[in-house]
Amino acid sequence: MKIQNDIKLVLNPEIFLNLIKCVENAFPNEACGLIFGDILEVPNEQQEDDYFYHYISRKFHCIPPDKSSSVSFLIENEELLHDIIKKETHESHNNKKMRLISVFHSHPKGTFPSFTDMDQMKYLDYFSSINHEFGNKAFKNLIWAIMDAINHEINGFIYFEREFQQVKILRRKN
């Protein structure tokens, strides 16, 4: 899979711990949730008119394990998805409005997207171009973060420029 170096997901330590907690509570089932924050455009100092996109995480919403907490369930239930997005993006963080930046879920083993995941990544991207209720592009260019339930390794993926690409996840304070 192509590596996309211009896009990075920045996870602060607190959010990273919340992801692990979410995975452990759901175990042995798949955990899932949504990461909210904002996307910073950082100019590339080496190259004019080139930008890096840093997806800055500010809040994580874990879907409680008593609901069917698979990511397919979430994506297929637009109403639930929209309710969570509405609630979380309504709150602001340091007076900054948040948006959905990443869809998170766990796998029993490994961090690579399944065929179903890839279908859903593509579907959400398409969906964002036809649905305007939640602001144009609410689902456009989302990073999918997948965590291995055993060793807590995490990787990020994006459907970008009609291609599945891997992005880097940075673990540091915002």
Q: Which residues bind Zn ion (CB under 5 A)?
A: 114, 117
**Cβ distance to Zn ion smaller for residue 16 or 144:** 144
**Cβ distance to Zn ion smaller for residue 57 or 111:** 111
Whole-number minimum distance, CB 119 to Zn ion, in Å? 11
Mind spelling out the 3-state secondary structure of the chain?
CEEEEEEEEEECHHHHHHHHHHHHHHCCCCCEEEEEEEEEEEECCCCCCCEEEEEEEEEEEECCCCCCCCHHHHHHCHHHHHHHHHHHHHCEECCEECEEEEEEEEECCCCCCCHHHHHHHHHHHHHHHHCCCCCCCCCCCCEEEEEECCCCCEEEEEEECCEEEEEEEEECCC
**Cβ distance to Zn ion smaller for residue 53 or 144:** 144
Whole-number minimum distance, CB 22 to Zn ion, in Å? 14
Whole-number minimum distance, CB 104 to Zn ion, in Å? 10
Whole-number minimum distance, CB 114 to Zn ion, in Å? 5
**Cβ distance to Zn ion smaller for residue 114 or 151:** 114
